[in-house]
Amino acid sequence: MSRKTKPHVLISPGSSSEYSISNKLRKLGATCEIVAPSEKHQVVQQKYNRATHIILGGGGDVDPSRYGQDNVYSTGISTLRDKLEFKLLRWAARDRKPLLGICRGNQIMSVFFGAELIQDIENEGYNLIEHWGKYHEAHAIKGGFVRDVVQKVKFETNSYHHQAVREDTMPDDLYVVALSYDGIVEAVQHRSLPMYGIQSHPETQNTPWAWLLFSMFIHTN
């Protein structure tokens, strides 16, 4: 993206998250467009081609068959949305187009590259921190985009999720860049592509690091 090109972000949304995301992006000088799972391939392709950046937002769970598991605890599954976002991920990887995954978006990006998910973190013993509707402390790992944004090791973030990326299945293409203190993956990053995932919801936070995260992303080439 040249310096004269205004960032145009294509958002695959969940619930009403697109409004919070687009409001922040517009205040930072970007334009936004929404893509829906029900839209035809040609329409999706046209919207993708117009976009300089892609955001995959929050929402229901990824179909466990996408990562080789039976459904044990997953809910709110949309196979149409999974199909759409795999398509966007495939195109973005091919074109080296910057992509940010938020919550579910972080999870489906990780699954696309080969990771598995914890279908319910509480039922799998990750209960030291409440991950639904709470703020908690996390650890930003040196060398990752989260440390670059927050500029410190410990930072506070929010959680609205009952699933997470399973760290011991992390593919070679991705690496963990933030963890909560009960071992939940809070952020991942691609090793060679401009693709980032964060488990929290920065679009709902009015913190300096949340604004810096979106600013960093839309200025990524």
Q: Is the pLDDT of residue 100 over 60?
A: yes
Distance in angstroms (rounded) separating the CA atoms of residues 31 and 67: 33
Q: Are 165 and 188 in contact (CB under 8 A)?
A: yes
Q: Are 153 and 140 in contact (CB under 8 A)?
A: yes
Distances, alpha carbon 149 to alpha carbons 62, 91, 138, 154, 165, in Å? 28, 27, 13, 12, 21
pLDDT per position as a tens digit, 186-209: 999 999 999 999 999 999 888 999
pLDDT per position as a tens digit, 204-216: 888 999 999 999 9
Three-state SS for the chain is CCCCCCCEEEEECCCCHHHHHHHHHHHCCCEEEECCCCCCHHHHHHHHHHCCEEEECCCCCCCHHHHCCCCCCCCCCCHHHHHHHHHHHHHHHHHCCCEEEECHHHHHHHHHHCCCEECCCCCCCCCCCCCEEEEEEEEECCCCHHHHHHCCCEEEEEEECCCEECHHHCCCCEEEEEEECCCCEEEEEECCCCEEEECCCHHHCCCHHHHHHHHHHHCCC
User: pLDDT band at 92, cuts 50/70/90?
Assistant: very high
pLDDT per position as a tens digit, 23-61: 999 999 999 999 999 999 999 999 999 999 999 999 999
Q: Are 194 and 94 in contact (CB under 8 A)?
A: no
Domains and CATH numbers, the chain: 8-218 (3.40.50.880)
Helices 208-218 + 17-27 axis angle, to 10: 80
Average pLDDT over all residues of the chain: 92
Tell me how crowded residue 28 is: count the other CB atoms within 10 A of its CB: 15
pLDDT of residue 136: 82
The least confident of 1-10, 55-64, 74-83, 110-119 is: 1-10
User: pLDDT band at 2, cuts 50/70/90?
Assistant: very low
Proportion of the chain above pLDDT 70, given as a percent: 94
Q: Is the pLDDT of residue 16 over 60?
A: no
Query: If you search the block for the tokens 């929404």, which residue do you land on?
Result: 34
User: pLDDT band at 15, cuts 50/70/90?
Assistant: low
Query: If you search the block for the tokens 């300096």, which residue do you land on?
Result: 208
User: What's the distance, CA 185 to chain centroid?
Assistant: 12
Distance in angstroms (rounded) separating the CA atoms of residues 19 and 24: 9
pLDDT of residue 125: 78
Q: Is the pLDDT of residue 130 over 90?
A: no
